[in-house]
């Protein structure tokens, strides 16, 4: 998914546990784990606002956009170099 959740980064910076953050935000640790691990399909603005308030940060500190396949960018770059026009392999 192109949206990456960096809650774990902010937790480390604030030296806070998942359980403490969940308690202070008012959500279950399980739901926070789903969000933190990038498995959530949506997040309510009220939850995002509460996370930002507790972590003293901006939404952009918690969420960022990456292009699809960014983790394989080097592989794609290598493939582009090895392929000619139309994606055919070069001799």
pLDDT for 78 beyond 50: no
17-71, pLDDT tens digit by residue? 999 999 999 999 999 999 999 999 999 999 999 999 999 999 999 999 998 876 5
Tell me how many degrees the CA angle 64-11-48 measures, rounded to the nearest 5.
Answer: 50
Which residues sit opposite 65 in a β-bridge?
Answer: 3
Stated pTM of the model:
0.72
**Among the listed residues 30, 28, 63, 33, the one whose alpha carbon sits nearest the alpha carbon of residue 45:** 63
**Among the listed residues 24, 11, 3, the one whose alpha carbon sits nearest the alpha carbon of residue 66:** 3
Q: In whole angstroms, what is the distance from residue 49 CA to residue 3 CA?
A: 17
Residue with tokens 């606002």: 49
């Amino acid at each position: 998914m192109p949206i990456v959740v960096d809650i774990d980064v902010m937790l480390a910076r604030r030296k806070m546990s998942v359980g403490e953050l969940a308690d202070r935000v008012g959500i279950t640790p399980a739901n926070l784990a789903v969000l933190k691990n990038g498995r959530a399909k949506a997040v309510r603005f009220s939850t995002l606002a509460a996370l930002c308030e507790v972590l003293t940060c901006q939404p952009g500190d918690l969420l960022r956009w990456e292009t699809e396949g960014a983790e394989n960018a080097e592989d794609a770059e290598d493939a582009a170099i090895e392929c000619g026009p139309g994606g055919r392999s070069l001799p």
